[in-house]
Amino acid sequence: MPVVPNLLPCPVAHRIRIASLISPLRRVRPRTPFYELSAHRVPTLWSLYRGLLRHAPGENASDLLFHLIRFRVRMLFRKNQHVVKAHAAKEQLVMGYKWLESFKRAEQGDIKLQNLLNRYERMIATKCEKTVWKMRILEAFNWEAKLRKRPIFKGSFIRPSFEHNLLPRLIPQPAHITGMIVRRRVARVRRWEQRETLRAGHTICGMRVSLSTALLKSAQGEAVGAAQFTKGRMLEDQCRPMCRGDCTSKGTPLVGPSGKQARRDRIANKTAQRQRERSGEVTTATIKRRRNAPPAHIQELMTPRQILMDRAVREASEGGWSGTVKARMGVHMHMSEKWKAEGGWEDQKTKKRLDDMEREIRVENERRRKGSQLDPAPLSE
């Protein structure tokens, strides 16, 4: 094996000197992330962020309680506070120091930068206004969707079962009630299986106790068997808790008074709805009732006049021709004499006067029609 000669003192000293010069230039990657170092946090928060808020121009506060440019600075810092990449954070910091320099120059009297920042402030105000209106519209849409899907208690109930007690029937049924019923059914099946397993174990345990007692009686006599029988009963007492595997579910309190009140409210709502329909308002129930029709096998045997009368009966109106058809077919109406008053048939004198007026109008129209046919048209010169 070749022998490596020892290095001379001069090359060793030269290497030590070069290492001492290069070592301070070597990059040292800290174990702590950069956003937790004081060298990053102190200049960013106390020099950049505080300087931007202090030198931010603008007096137009609009509906906000602070300047719009300051509001924009806060939003950008809040948006970028979770940036963990060094190069991305460096780009944002360079932009922030550029803004800080622009704010200082505008504060010192730079007209161009002042106009630029004023226009930027107006742009932020417009954007904030659009965002506010979008949020309001979105809230209105969400509220309408919530009202469309809100649970309504009409006074009926879900019958009690092994899983739950008496429950109000809500339409549509909330998801948490459905989940509660499903979970309790699954838990009941699980408890029943556990009960059967424990009952089988209890039966085996009882058989062992009986066998032990019988063996002791036959081996040691009746006196000794009685003493050992007490020990067997103790063993049976130890096995007794195994049969306690089932439990009853807690039921909800009775909701009878609330159900009665819900029925009263439903009747009141339907009465008010019918009143609005009679006054001329077209509701969703009105449109749905108009679109209804008899079953297909019955409608096939109906004449066109019967179909037309069926449509009139489904109308909300109680006057005019619809009221006449309803009165003829014996349909219950809120104002049974309204169709007579509207046609002038409630009072015989009024009916006679209207008939005379109609006759006079017809005679006058006929006379004018004949006169226009006899008079020749003038000739144009």
Sign, CA torsion 251/252/256/259: negative
Cβ contact 84:35 at 8 Å: yes
Cβ contact 333:326 at 8 Å: yes
Beta bridge partners of 153: 170
239 vs 210: CA distance, rounded Å? 13
Q: What is the pLDDT along the chain (381 residues), one digit of tens a residue?
A: 555 556 566 677 778 888 888 877 777 777 788 888 888 999 999 999 999 998 888 654 444 434 788 888 999 999 998 888 889 999 999 999 999 999 999 989 889 998 988 888 888 888 888 999 999 999 999 999 888 888 988 888 888 888 888 888 888 899 888 999 999 999 989 998 988 888 888 888 878 777 777 777 777 655 544 454 455 555 555 555 554 444 444 445 556 788 888 888 889 988 898 888 888 888 888 898 888 889 999 999 999 999 998 988 888 888 778 888 888 888 888 777 766 666 555 566 777 887 889 899 999 999 888 887 765 555 444
311 is written with which tokens?
């449509």
Give one word for 347, left, alpha or beta, with left for phi > 0 and alpha for psi -120 to 50. beta
Matching residue, tokens 């009685």:
226
| CA-to-CA dists, residue 90 to 27, 85, 340, 363, 368, angstroms | 18, 9, 87, 98, 96
Give one word for 77, left, alpha or beta, with left for phi > 0 and alpha for psi -120 to 50. alpha
Among the listed residues 82, 79, 116, the one whose alpha carbon sits nearest the alpha carbon of residue 99: 116
User: For residue 172, is the peptide bond before it cis, meaning its omega torsion is within 30 degrees of 0?
Assistant: yes
Question: Which runs of E-coded beta strand occur in the chain?
Answer: 152-158, 167-171
DSSP string, 242-263: GG----PPPPPPP-HHHHHHHH
Among the listed residues 233, 232, 228, 204, the one whose alpha carbon sits nearest the alpha carbon of residue 216: 228
Cβ contact 340:322 at 8 Å: no
Q: What is the pLDDT of residue 240?
A: 55
> How many residues in total does the chain contain?
381
Q: What is the pLDDT of residue 135?
A: 94
136 exposed, middle or buried (CB, 10 Å; 0-12, 13-18, 19+)? Answer: exposed
378 exposed, middle or buried (CB, 10 Å; 0-12, 13-18, 19+)? Answer: exposed
Q: What is the pLDDT of residue 290?
A: 86
88 vs 224: CA distance, rounded Å? 90
